[in-house]
Structure 1
């Protein structure tokens, strides 16, 4: 791995459906997947620059979109990013809108989530040699980073929405009408399949 010499902690961009590759990176360097105690990440990590800022790109579903949401190795992904010295993660996902206030093709920066998934490995603390972490997850997203994203997007020709509750479903199937109705009653504004356990693992790893 090349040294990440930027004086600022490196940033990771995790691409979801529709963003399996990041063609806008300057000086991209492809790397083989890193071995972690939890296996290999979904894809080879790509190191490059974006407007002069060092970033690492990771395709959540694999370079060929071969991993369904419930099959993504979220622990290996987050462990690999943490090993590289990443401190901030921008995770991109294609989601559906539930509440009436959600606009089609908008950039939404959620501020809460509800986890409807099951059976996913959601902690690094599952081995006898790993201390149990009871992380505070009251507010799943870093407020400052969210505000930075909103500010950067405000000058673009896109619809930007501040806040919203992301309901995370198991996938890979889409939800039934009754499930969507229940999620709406629960207060969900968006529905997607990948935010958990990605977000809580980032919190455990000390990533923002």
Structure 2
């Protein structure tokens, strides 16, 4: 099914809400969802939409089907535009990351509240001149504070302990960082490192989407231990609980 990228006509009393995820979280297994291909001015993207009573839920697998697109080649503008065109006013994103801060070991959850951008070569704005003009957005508060607050308030009900703040460093990928790079990122104030938060965060802000995010650590960043090893045990349950929390928080915040 193809959906043209136009403003979504509301048929429900509640607004659509979106979840973006990637590594380790590829769908919402507990909910029946339909695949929809959305045409946008920036290309086509695939989303999953809930059926029946869950038709307000939109799930976007940022890496595409079967995790087929590396971080530096994701069509971030098409993804965020698709969510906006379908009417999503509130969006939560999950990011698999490596831990830089030793107080945030693997399996930690962090409601990130700031970022450092070390990406390059990505299409990072909708305001690139021409018909879209030029606009300089303020990212003094990168994330939607009301959605972050709702998420943190509800987290204990889902057995999740979320650290209420941390700085996400976004690198280009797809390679992992070197030990020297990780030492530098630590000195700059980075807590966790990943490859996909930028430009998702800033594109959502450009379209006035209430956007918040949780990073979940799956490894120590390079150089902290002799060898990088990735957590597997418990990751499936963590992902399920996090998705359940996301759905509840989004519905509460968008009322």
TM-score, normalised relative to structure 2: 0.75
Tell me, in whole angstroms, the C-alpha distance in 2 between the residues paired with 1:58 and 1:152.
23
CA contact (8 A) 2:112 2:164 kept: yes
Report the 3-state secondary structure (helix = DSSP H, G, I; strand = E; otherwise coil) of the residue aligned with 1:19: coil
Larger mean CA deviation between 143-152 and 52-61 belongs to: 52-61
Divergent runs of 4+, >6 A: none
Gaps (5+ residues) in structure 2?
Answer: 211-255
Q: Higher strand proportion, which one? A: 2
Instruction: Tell me the matched-pair count.
Output: 204
Equivalent residue runs for 1:85-124 within 5 Å:
85-124=87-126
CA contact (8 A) 1:78 1:202 kept: yes
Equivalent residue runs for 1:28-67 within 5 Å:
28-31=33-36, 33-41=37-45, 44-48=46-50, 54-67=56-69
**RMSD over equivalenced CA pairs, Å:** 1.9
Does 2:172 align with 1:177?
no
Aligned residue among 78, 81, 97 for 1:79: 81
**Residue 3 of structure 1: how far off its partner (Å):** 5.9
Aligned residue among 136, 139, 142 for 2:141: 139
Does 2:158 align with 1:156?
yes
Tell me, in whole angstroms, the C-alpha distance in 1 between the residues paired with 2:40 and 2:54.
29
Gaps (5+ residues) in structure 1?
Answer: none
Tell me, in whole angstroms, the C-alpha distance in 1 between the residues paired with 2:12 and 2:192.
35
Report the 3-state secondary structure (helix = DSSP H, G, I; strand = E; otherwise coil) of the residue aligned with 1:152: helix
Pair 1:143–1:85, CA change in 2 (3 A): same
Does 2:199 align with 1:197?
yes
**Residue 77 of structure 1: how far off its partner (Å):** 0.4
Pair 1:49–1:148, CA change in 2 (3 A): farther
Q: Higher helix proportion, which one? A: 2
**Cα deviation digits, residues 5-62 of structure 1 (max 9, x gap):** 332321100111011222122x42221x211111112xx2111169868210010001
Tell me, in whole angstroms, the C-alpha distance in 2 between the residues paired with 1:100 and 1:89.
29
Pair 1:57–1:50, CA change in 2 (3 A): farther
Partner of 2:132: 130
CA contact (8 A) 2:34 2:51 kept: no
**Residue 128 of structure 1: how far off its partner (Å):** 1.2
TM-score, normalised relative to structure 1: 0.91
